[in-house]
Amino acid sequence: MRLKLIAILALVVGPILAFMGFKERQRIGKIETEGVEVVGVPMGGEMKKGRKGAKTYTITVKYPDANGAPQEKDFKVKSEYFNSISDGDSITVPMVKVKVLADQPDEAIIVGGSDDDRIMFPVGIGAFVLGGIGTVFMFRPRRA
């Protein structure tokens, strides 16, 4: 019974994860191709530990948008990037490269460092396929 529930859950949740990953892929792709590269000043950073031990790294960066207006945003970054620009929770570099969309200044990434959820696309597709296969095998008629 538990396996049937897991298969059905994967069948439902898989497409949702895939859609979220697809939208993130489009967002990052648009910023990478259409974005303007500016120099940002890191204001601080931190590592947070979740309940199950997962670590999340964020840095706060002030950067000008394409029109020169100041912006400030917390960026989720990869652990390798965070460790390369920090010593503990203090940032050791004076500037970072930021790519920002001219018409949407809140849509920005740290060049070479932003962490994103693009991995959800293949994970969602995999969950959907496995859920579909599991559902087919679990609910097929039994032979006597």
Domain borders along the chain are 23-115
Q: What is the pLDDT of residues 14-34, one digit of tens each?
A: 899 889 888 988 988 899 899
| Side chain identity, residue 74 | D
**Residue whose pair of structure tokens reads 């004076």 in the numeric block:** 94
pTM beyond 0.85, yes or no: no
Phi, psi torsion values for 94, nearest 5 degrees:
-80, -20
> How confident is residue 92, by pLDDT bands cut at 50, 70 and 90?
confident
What are the residues whose beta carbons fall under 8 Å from the beta carbon of 96, sequence distance 6 or more?
A: 39, 40, 41, 42, 59, 61, 85, 110, 111, 113
